[in-house]
Amino acid sequence: MKTVRSLCLLAAFAAAVIAAPATHAGPVPVDFGTTGTFNGSNDTFYDAGGNNIISFDGLGLKTINLDTTSPTVSTTNFGSFDTTLFNSTAEITFSVSFALTIQQLNPTPSGSDIIVFTGTIAGSLSNGTSSLTLTFDPPLFQTIAGSPDVKYSIISADTGIPGTVAIAPNLSGGATTIQGRVEISAVPEPSTIALAGLAAPMVLMYRRRSLRTV
């Protein structure tokens, strides 16, 4: 009887490995968009006075192709600040809160599809000079749960400090991007999961047989 049980279990083990698809892992498109808002409002721009405006251009929709067969990371940008409408020749000093919102479409989130990074923009800005810096609040990474999970990180460190973005003035091009990273973890192949699931009863049966022979 012991031999029959062993053979049956081995047969089930082999059938599970053969029946399991080669893999569900592979290329996964990560689709997401971003928006940036100022001062706790829905405004994507901020008037520092006298129609001197700084705005944020988010990503309408961006696709990054990652691979779940191994941990995969992609460096990207999450949108950019625009100071081309900031024309004051005199420096204007101000401080304003900022929120970067990332919304994920794919892979389909298992919970919330939105994460928000907050920070403060502070310093002085004119059309030709800038000490204006965005400093993000920690943590500098957040995860949207799904299959697989997707981790988003802020990697800008313009002042030498992680999470800082030095905003360029109008006469220096007027555009400054927020640099980020998107990554997913490796996903086990179904055959690997099947092996792990069947290993437990095999070990248990072997242990019972060992105890009986003692």
Structural domain containing residue 140: 28-187
Task: Work out the pLDDT band at 7, boundaries 50, 70, 90.
Answer: very low
pLDDT at 74 over 50: yes
Structure tokens belonging to residue 49: 């006075």
Is residue 19 domain-resident?
no
Asked whether the beta carbons of 57 and 80 are under 8 A apart, the reply is yes
Per-residue pLDDT at 11: 46
pLDDT at 85 over 60: yes
Residue from 9, 7, 21, 11 nearest 192 by CA: 21
Is residue 36 domain-resident?
yes
Is residue 59 domain-resident?
yes
E-strand spans in the chain? 27-38, 45-47, 53-57, 62-67, 72-85, 92-106, 114-125, 133-136, 141-144, 150-154, 164-166, 175-184
The mean pLDDT of the chain is 84
Is residue 193 domain-resident?
no
Is residue 108 domain-resident?
yes
Task: Work out the pLDDT band at 199, boundaries 50, 70, 90.
Answer: very low
How many domains does the chain contain in total?
Answer: 1
pLDDT at 167 over 60: yes
Is residue 207 domain-resident?
no
